[in-house]
Structure 1
Amino acid sequence: MSDSPNIAVINYGPRHDYAAMLPELADRLQVFSHHELKNTEGLAHYEYVENCESVPYAEWMIRRLAREKPFTHLITDNEYDLERAARMREDFGIPGQSAASATSFRDKVVMKEVAGRTVRTARFARLETFVDLTDFIEECAYPVVVKPVKQGGSRDICVLGSEEDLRAFSRRAWREDLMVEEFIEGPMYHVDAVLGEGYRFVAASRYLRSCLGVFSGENSGSVQLRPEDPFARRLEDFFDRVLEAFETPDVSAYHLEVFHTPDDELVLCEIASRVGGDRIPALTRATYGVDLHTAVMRQLCGLPVDPPPSTPPAEVHGSVSVLPQGRPVRAPGRPPFPWVRHYEVNEELAPGAVTQHSASYLCFVIVRGADTAEVERRLLTTEAWLMENLEDLENLEETLEETPASH
């Protein structure tokens, strides 16, 4: 590591504490953040930048600062910043993920073109015009999935299952950033990993339901597989085969999503070169004691990191998030079950909010169990209790209005 590190950080995580994650280098960190952070007094530079991932201010400032003192590292935890961070690294001549590598993980068409060299992917096509979509449907038949090539969190995804769906879709404003792919049946699993020189952490989980289900009112969640489970090992092997097709940096986190079809085949959905979102970091800490963000960021800055555990965990965990209900409701108190590890209510959610993406939540719970099956049973029991105990504020207000005032 350089005698005088100078590190630029484009931050997304709303709760990251860089002074705690990188104490050796806190006074060398120049942080531009999408969210307002706490404990930033000891940083070399800190700015909260509204809509940081969408506006060019952070890049402009980093390039200006680099003229005064060259940066030795440039890191980001945000998928939407991977490409511009990579471009700046190449311009500054500092190590890290290249622009070509970042694009291959960000652009879902390029991603599938690359991954298709080593594993099966769904059939797909980039959409330049609406005719490209109708041609694809004639070739592949319904249902199909239409989505932006660089979006995340299941945002703006549309499943077309019939001519009526296509008719409705044709009335929407056309976008220039779309792709289409065949719909793959079967549950979806995810693999979350941090790989570095001499460091390897890989964990497998299954989504409780389809990530697209949130837009039809289904709560989202995830259940971990035990690492010694043969299917977890199969998923890890699939993950390794996917990465063989890509140009990968020396250090990176990865989030892989893969379908398990009814005929027992694994089919790539997507892979990203960043830490998984939603409750994945919290679940990983609970089961393995590994903080995915800290593990990857310390290695990216050339700092030592504790090795991942070498023995199977005593328990595994799962989470379920209750969606915003689209009407004013109040989440109940902590569920009364001994297996509940953590419960959190989204205090910043506006009354009557609707689901915006797959990580939207009114409240979420993390539960523990001996294995995947026990965790899933406990999750479903806890979810049922939460749904039964949601308090409808509209009905409450009407009741209060109808109740005569006491004297």
Structure 2
Amino acid sequence: MQNTKTILVLASQFKGVPLIEEFHKLGCLVLLLCAEKTRCEAWPTHAITEQFYMPKLNVFPDILHAVSHLARSYNIDRIIGVDDFDVEVAARLREHLRTPGMGDTTARYFRDKLAMRVLASDEGLAVPDFVHLLNDDKVNHYLSTVPGPWVLKPRSEAGAVGIKKIHTAQDLWRYSEELGDKRSYYLLERFLPGEVFHVDSIVFEGKVVFARASRYRVPPFSVWNEGGVFSTLSLPETDPLAQEMIEFNARLVHSMHLARGITHTEFIRADIDGKLYFLEMAARVGGAHLDLHVEACSGINLWREWAHLELAYLLGERYQCPEPRHDHSALLICLAREEHPDLSGFDAPEVVWRMKRAFHAGLVLNSQDPARIDELERVYRKRLQTEFLKA
């Protein structure tokens, strides 16, 4: 047991089960520290050495004290945060315990929407015009020179959470007054209509070793603000736009100094000029079951590969990503009116996963034919909207 590695997994949400199972399969001791609200979830207890709960994982110094106490009994080799908020907490814990991995400075680039935009802009990468909601003169200059509408974004929320669309300067200053001393935690960005895309990738020793590009048919921002069926489709790997995004993603990984891990990056192709613009990047597996979407088109399970690359680094070995498949896939998810919606009527052979979660309906589609995926996604999205979507 001398060479057995101990992994501490932080989970403020119920996610990362394949990661935990893979670490266990690889012979690691897995400690799970999760939020109290996840106590009744189906955690893989067979793969967990010890499991601990706290009311919230992002309360300092409570989390520092708790993990430091845990470290008296376990030599913690790696700390993994599975959710957006856990990434930041894990970084602070690594700094405190001097555990290898991404520290506060690098983590800030992946959690702070302002920091990541400043860095990308400094590197000459295209980002929508933005301004920190801090200095009145700079904000007024921005409002007078950058055409609206704009989006007001919290710097550290996950995904589309807390984003507001702003149409006039008066609206902006009204929201600013409501925010009070919290306004410095926000930025204002030009709203660019267009198609939204994402790239999900694996990084080892600073290089992207796997990447797959997809197009949101209905992006998270639209679902968050207007409701509807969330949907994304993989892009053919030969698509010039997919190749451009994957190259863009690789430049971002290099700029943000990520040594190893999983990334989820979002872009928009603006209607106004057809250019790709960077929106945000996260150092984690994408949410909303995007891991299943990526696995359906490539055969690559991002959670399991995360475990493999972390252990490879700890053992001083070279990580080798499996050879991916070259299929096509789509993911559809919505809130459902019924507690347990019956999805058996979605019976096309391309359906490879049906969601089993109360008051949710979801599907993953897989085929070697991109046209079939495109057709079926349109049909099933309409059916989910009319048959199951919660108003």
* Both structures adopt the same fold (TM-score exceeding 0.5): yes
1:65 corresponds to 2:70: yes
Shift of 1:55: 6.9
- Corresponding residue SS for 2:258: coil
- Corresponding residue SS for 2:93: helix
Q: Indicate if the aligned counterparts of 1:137 and 1:144 stay in contact, CA closer than 8 A.
A: no
CA RMSD of aligned residues (A): 3.0
Question: Matched residues, percent identical?
Answer: 21
1:16-27 correspondence to structure 2 within 5 Å: 16-17=17-18, 20-24=21-25
Choose which of 271, 279, 283 in structure 2 pairs with 1:269: 279
Q: Indicate if the aligned counterparts of 2:143 and 2:169 stay in contact, CA closer than 8 A.
A: no
> Partners in 1 of 2:265 and 2:188 — Cα distance?
19
1:205 corresponds to 2:223: no
Choose which of 145, 150, 174 in structure 2 pairs with 1:144: 150
Shift of 1:53: 4.4
Shift of 1:297: 2.3
> Partners in 2 of 1:10 and 1:289 — Cα distance?
26
| Corresponding residue number in structure 2 for 1:379 | 377
> Partners in 1 of 2:87 and 2:291 — Cα distance?
19
TM-score by length of 2: 0.85
> Partners in 2 of 1:379 and 1:228 — Cα distance?
21
Letter in 2 for 1:202: A
| Corresponding residue number in structure 1 for 2:119 | 114
| Corresponding residue number in structure 2 for 1:403 | none
| Corresponding residue number in structure 2 for 1:160 | 166
Q: Indicate if the aligned counterparts of 2:79 and 2:94 stay in contact, CA closer than 8 A.
A: yes
| Structure 1 portions without partners, runs of 5+ | 350-361, 394-407
The structure number with the bigger radius of gyration is 1
Q: Indicate if the aligned counterparts of 1:118 and 1:244 stay in contact, CA closer than 8 A.
A: no
| Corresponding residue number in structure 1 for 2:30 | 29
- Corresponding residue SS for 1:122: coil
Shift of 1:337: 3.2
Distance change >3 Å, CA 319–CA 56, structure 1 → 2: farther
**Cα deviation code 1:166-210 (max 9, x no counterpart):** 477467444332111111221011000011148711100001123
Choose which of 316, 325, 333 in structure 1 pairs with 2:328: 316
1:193-272 correspondence to structure 2 within 5 Å: 193-197=201-205, 200-214=209-223, 215-249=225-259, 251-262=260-271, 263-272=273-282
Choose which of 269, 274, 290 in structure 2 pairs with 1:280: 290
Letter in 2 for 1:5: K
> Partners in 1 of 2:357 and 2:153 — Cα distance?
28
Instruction: Tell me the matched-pair count.
Output: 375
1:343 corresponds to 2:341: no
> Partners in 1 of 2:25 and 2:357 — Cα distance?
33
Distance change >3 Å, CA 390–CA 293, structure 1 → 2: closer
> Partners in 1 of 2:190 and 2:211 — Cα distance?
28
